[in-house]
Amino acid sequence: MKQNNFLYLLNDALQNQNIQLALDSVKTFKAVDLADILSQLPLDSAQLLLINLPQRAYVFSYLAPEVQVKIGNGLSRADLAEIIGEMSSDKRADVFKQLDLEQQNALWPALAQAEREDIRQLAQHAEGTAGAIMSSEYAMLTAELNVAEAIQMLRFEAPDTETIYVAYVVDQARKLLGVVSLKQLILASEDTLIRDLMTTDIIFVTTDTDNDQVAKIISRYDLLALPIIDEQGTMVGIVTYDDAMDVARDEATEDFLKSSAVNASSKLSIKTAPIFQLYKKRVFWLVVLVFGSLLSGIGIAHFEGIISKNIVLVFFLPLLVGSGGNAGAQSATLMVRALATGDVVAKDWVFLMLKETLVALTLGLTMAAAVSILGFYRGGEMVALVLALSMMGIVLLGCLIGTSLPFILNLLKLDPASASAPLVTSICDATGVLVYLYIASQLLSL
């Protein structure tokens, strides 16, 4: 309620052109919180507040992409150009790529030559690659400098760089020679040459490296930034830790959506997305899974005779197929996660299948012992035997399906996250019905 009152008063001040009052009321807010406030204000008020904020470019960079476009569309060309010009190079390129062609053509002449060149260089890289998320603003040093000269140069470069905690040593052709940290510079004597101080064992990637691989490298080696080189070996940018974490968060969100059989191609927020957009995200897999579930019905129809003679089988049907689906979903989740983190690779498939078989058999035995007691109570010894054997077979099959599907998709160059819990469950349900009723038809007809 307090937040609603604050937003109402802030909007009232903006509508009445009381800019100073509005600025005073938000002066204690951090940039990310100001971005949240802008997202909740009416469009005209959000635009008015933004262009009067002292750190407007920084605040603008925290807005969701769709909000950036919406607010940017209502700004004058000069205001939008000034905001984009003040942003870091990677954020600037991202915003520019979101604008339609007409907006880009209108904005282009208002940008400085250096900014236009920067956008042109960064925008040429494919989405999902290191080149698309890198920043061209990084600290550079030459090997001939001494520490005192290097620190002086960093002071000069600091306002225009993404980070000065790490500086990159390059030659005249911008070939990467080494890397030196700010800590090394501070601790070294002033006359020490950079070539004697720098680390030459450099971890780097190329512009076409997948951005999820970039995030893994930065996390694995605990880097503040990762240098990016082009095909000629020239250093062209860096990816910082915070940008890598954004990538990791987006990847985790995408995998989470896929694991629930939701189309993850759109990055719209569930709060701001139109109803039709949410419909499109979910309808495909739900329709596919509907037809997948028909297999269970076909299996039941095929064994209708044995079911009519032993109606007690129906009582245990949901229990058995549900157990197989649960076991399969568990295995699939563990395997998708292991593939995503690099803990396992394709060549581990056979070993993991053997290992999962042993795990599944022990799980199946435990669950079979429990369910056979219920079977004996409801239908006698033969029903108990059918349930025990079926439970073991269904759990084993479910675990193997859940383990195999991510590997198969990975070998087919598809996303293992598509081996979602609903997909695995649907497959396990159909196979579980067939296993259960087949065993029942063989044993109960004796």
pLDDT in single tens digits along all 446 residues of the chain: 466 788 888 888 889 889 899 898 888 899 889 989 998 889 899 889 998 998 888 888 888 888 888 888 888 888 888 888 888 777 888 788 888 787 777 778 878 777 787 778 777 888 888 888 888 889 999 999 999 999 999 998 888 788 889 999 999 989 999 999 999 999 999 999 999 999 999 999 999 998 888 888 988 888 889 999 988 889 998 998 888 887 777 766 666 555 555 555 545 556 666 777 767 767 776 777 777 677 777 778 888 888 788 888 888 888 888 888 888 888 888 888 788 777 888 788 889 899 999 999 999 999 999 888 888 888 788 888 988 999 999 999 999 998 888 888 888 877 776 656 677 888 888 888 889 888 888 888 75
> Based on the domain organization, do 439 and 297 belong to the same domain?
yes
Kindly state whether residue 77 falls inside one of the protein's structural domains: yes
> Based on the domain organization, do 290 and 421 belong to the same domain?
yes
CA 214 centroid distance within chain: 13
Total domains in the fold of the chain: 3
> Based on the domain organization, do 208 and 293 belong to the same domain?
no
At residue 1, the pLDDT reads 41
Domain CATH number, residue 327: 1.10.357.20
> Based on the domain organization, do 336 and 404 belong to the same domain?
yes
Domain limit, last residue, from 220, 255, 290: 255
Q: Are 109 and 66 in contact (CB under 8 A)?
A: no
> Based on the domain organization, do 10 and 108 belong to the same domain?
yes
> Based on the domain organization, do 211 and 306 belong to the same domain?
no
The whole-angstrom separation of Cα 215 and Cα 199 is 22
> Based on the domain organization, do 247 and 299 belong to the same domain?
no
3-state secondary structure of 61: helix
Kindly state whether residue 299 falls inside one of the protein's structural domains: yes
Kindly state whether residue 206 falls inside one of the protein's structural domains: yes
> Based on the domain organization, do 431 and 288 belong to the same domain?
yes
Domain CATH number, residue 108: 1.25.60.10
> Based on the domain organization, do 115 and 145 belong to the same domain?
no
At residue 179, the pLDDT reads 94
At residue 77, the pLDDT reads 83
Domain CATH number, residue 240: 3.10.580.10
Kindly state whether residue 129 falls inside one of the protein's structural domains: no
At residue 265, the pLDDT reads 52
> Based on the domain organization, do 80 and 164 belong to the same domain?
no
At residue 288, the pLDDT reads 72
Range of the domain at 105: 2-124
At residue 446, the pLDDT reads 52
Kindly state whether residue 133 falls inside one of the protein's structural domains: no
Kindly state whether residue 132 falls inside one of the protein's structural domains: no
Kindly state whether residue 78 falls inside one of the protein's structural domains: yes
> Based on the domain organization, do 341 and 414 belong to the same domain?
yes
Kindly state whether residue 246 falls inside one of the protein's structural domains: yes
Domain limit, last residue, from 64, 95, 124: 124
Domain limit, last residue, from 255, 283, 316: 255
> Based on the domain organization, do 107 and 155 belong to the same domain?
no
